[in-house]
Amino acid sequence: MSEKEEVLYAECPSIFYDLEHIHFTNTDKEHTFSMSKRKQLRAMDELEEQEILAQQDPVQVALDYFFAEGMITEILYPVKRGKEATVYCCQAHPSTGAELLAAKIYRPRNHRSFKNDAVYQEGRVITNGQIRRAVQKKSRFGRQMQFEMWVNHEFDVLTALSRAGADIPQPIARTQSAILMEYFGDREKAAPSLGGSELSREQARAVFDSLLNNIELWLAHNYVHGDLSAYNILYWQGQAKIIDFPQAVDPRFNSNALSLLTRDIENVCHSVERYGLIYDGKRIAEQLWHKFRNAQL
């Protein structure tokens, strides 16, 4: 800086300060504008992605992974539209060793009609701290994680109980929103529910005994179905097959387990009453619970 410039700076320091301050403020504004612009571009990208997805078949999108991995080759027909999910009958790829497979696509949490989620969530531990906090805050990320955990939970329950020999569909694969599993039925129609089947008294008694054996087996492996009824019990080729396990609870850690077990068994008892078979569901549940608590199963 020359002597003349130094004198000018000394005489008018406020001018130079103001100019420097203005320059800093403008830089801050440019930074803020840049951040705002990036957010706008990000929002536009998300909107464009949503528009693209809206133009696609949501069922095809949900099952795309199973097609890409060569597990299924065709969606044949919808089997069941329930409060939690929609199930489709699919043509299985020969490499799976099956002719048909069932694809269960879950409804997003905000579109489900299932009530009292908290009753079933009790006792489930989220070990990842970030995810746990997001779920507690019910953020967008937290809701998505909770939705995926709901899907993963059913897959894990099906896997464990299938290995234990329960009369349930064997799980094949899963994604964030769908499960591919064993199918009960044929190319024309799905296996009817127990409530929609007509049985002889002897068949009904055999089904009842089979269901109680399954409930006891689940309890021995620390599971209570929690929503068992004649509508998620299928009757196929002379046997009862039980489906829908997303709400299954661990009786070791869920204080509602006994009441859920009692309700499950009372519903099973009610399903065979029309055949003249009368059982005390509450008493049966208490006996099973006593065995469970005393490690006698």
Question: pLDDT tens digits, residue range 136-146?
Answer: 566 665 555 56
Q: How many helices (H) and strands (E) does the chain have?
A: 10, 7
H or E segment at 72? Answer: strand 72-81
The domains spanning 58-182 and 194-293 adopt the same CATH topology = no
Question: pLDDT tens digits, residue range 23-58?
Answer: 445 555 555 545 566 667 666 666 665 565 555 688
Q: Which CATH superfamily is domain 194-293 in?
A: Transferase(Phosphotransferase) domain 1 (1.10.510.10)
Q: Give which of 264, 271, 272 is closest to 289, Cα–Cα.
A: 264
CA distance 265 to 280: 9
pLDDT tops 50 at residue 12: no
Q: Which CATH superfamily is domain 58-182 in?
A: Phosphorylase Kinase; domain 1 (3.30.200.20)
DSSP assigned state of 138: T
Q: In the predicted model, what is the mean pLDDT of residues 62-69?
A: 96
H or E segment at 102? Answer: strand 100-106
> In sequence order, which residues have a C-beta less than 8 Å from that of residue 70 and are 6 or more positions away?
93, 95
CA distance 17 to 46: 44
Q: Give which of 203, 119, 164, 174 is closest to 297, Cα–Cα.
A: 164
For the chain, what are the domain ranges? 58-182, 194-293
Global pTM reads 0.75
What proportions of the chain, in percent to the nearest 5, are helix, strand and coil?
Answer: 55, 15, 30
H or E segment at 153? Answer: helix 140-163
| % of the chain surpassing 90 pLDDT | 63
Question: pLDDT tens digits, residue range 146-163?
Answer: 666 778 999 999 999 999
